[in-house]
Structure 1
Amino acid sequence: MSQLRIGVAGLGGIAQKAYLPILSRTENWALVGAFSPNQKKAKVICDSYRIACFSSLSELARHCDAVLVHSSTASHFQVVGELLKLGVHVYVDKPLAETLEQSEQLVELAHRQRKTLMVGFNRRFAPLYQQLKQGLDQASSLRMDKHRTHSVGPNDVRFTMLDDYLHVVDTALWLAGQDAKLMSEQLRVNQEKQMLYAEHHFRCGDTIVTTSMHRQAGSQRESVQAVTSGAVFQVDDMRRWRRESAQGIIELPTPGWQTTLEQRGFDGAIRHFIEAVSNQTPAETSGEQAIYAQRIVEQLLQSHSE
């Protein structure tokens, strides 16, 4: 395939902060343009990157081999479905769709169309998380915490679980590397059905996995701790890596040349998608992998409501 033509659908905060700065680099792909229903806003952003501002999703698709979708979750089913039917490969922010049924339909559609459909679980591509996964030798326990400062509401618990807690579940279970069985749970909400705190315990083979999130912890801290036979590993905020054993403590400093977008896995996720499309190889978070964590979160929500 010649140089891959890339487009962007949706120009909200995540597209502007994380994706356009990477996609606008001149490498083995070409960022040809973007589409957003808010054409006035879209033109300003597109002009700043010197790319075309398309007037419709179908027009964008006609000029692209692959499109990255950063529209609202509520629009994913319609937008991703239309793009796949128009014959382009798709990368979409998590979750794949609002409901598990819609997500399953999109996975099946991508299979029928023979197109790559990748869900953007960027943490799987964070270098320190990848290093931790490669170095884990059957952890006895693994815990992931991702807390917030003042983030209770305004959306309900279902939205928060699928929009934010989904990252924690996907990353922790990916690190554990086994199918998960729920052992115990705690999910607290307020009178408005907004999430306050969640903690869940899973068994993944011989590993006990804990996921946790507090929506008003006074901290934006994210950490992973893994206990193995002979060593304890700790990764904080995807920037600091630590290994403690009888031989001492090893800490890895953050490379001075590494950007925040590289540290948090956005750069790696985009490159993986482009390589998968260009080389016609499977994307890591496509198919069943794209919706495994969503299926687990749906089970957690159902268990909470019973």
Structure 2
Amino acid sequence: MSNNPMTDLHHLSVAQLAAALRGKQVSATEAAQHFLARAKAHQNLGAYVALNEEATLAQARAQDAALAAGTAAPLAGVPIAHKDVFVTRDFPSTAGSKMLAGYRSPFDATVVTRLANAGCVTLGKLNCDEFAMGSANENSAVAPVGFDAPAPVRNPWDTDRIPGGSSGGSGVAVAARLAPAVTGTDTGGSIRQPASYCGITGIKPTYGRASRYGLIAFASSLDQAGPMARSAEDCALLLSAMCGPDPDRDSTSLDMPAEDFSVRLNDSLEGLRIGIPAEFFGDGLASDVRAAVEAALKEYEKLGARLVPISLPRTELSIPVYYIIAPAEASSNLSRFDGVK
């Protein structure tokens, strides 16, 4: 960091920012104010749909007190923003839909609670395709912060291009340095695709690893919460805080204890086998995407991994099956928002 930490905060990783907070180089309140100011300064991107400065700064002051008392959690003071399908007490929860306009949840989603318990400070809620159905983030019915009407989220690298979806606001917030870390949800690619389009890192965990309690459902047997940040290390730190069984609230959560996913980040890849499905490299794969994937695979080989050709012969059925399961479950889940129940 430079002599003026405040000018560098949005360039720091989650790990670096957590260390700076523990080292008293910056306060949680200063970090929150810095990222709130960036969110307001870059409203043109349409990433945020709700801010609550009073609630954010109250959380930050509480983390400053914990840091001063030596009782702080591992991510104390690290700002985070949540995709607007996670319900939150201090912010509206709309899932990008007019059907939930003005809704305030009386409780936080389990993932939100666990990240708060790890010390994270909530900056606000992030734009998404309505009910997480989309891959471009052009289909939100909620006006972003600073807008009078709904507007598409803009890719910060080229505002004429889409950021991917449905977690487009999440991807943009990280890529544009409007938050060091965010949450997203993935039903059929809604974390992984915007992470790719925005040039960041996103993880869809194994189904059941993170509780779905408080996650406004699209397709219950497919939806999964996950982290989005700038690196594998940052995502591992977030995932460690997010995951763990939640049997009293989510019967589909796995009975597997929380763990530190960051401990093996520097393990050797010597001997690791990576399966390369032939069906993933067929017709329809863009030449630039092929080149990027093959370049990454060469790096894995240099690091000691072994590439193993495999076949997944039913790959062509994956999209048709998805479009049977997802719409059927969406129909069931969204029937509750009929204005009566």
* TM-score class, shorter: under 0.3
Give the structure, 1 or 2, with the largest relative contact order (CA under 8 Å, sep 6 or more): 1
TM-score (norm. length: structure 2): 0.25
- More strand per residue: 1
TM-score (norm. length: structure 1): 0.27
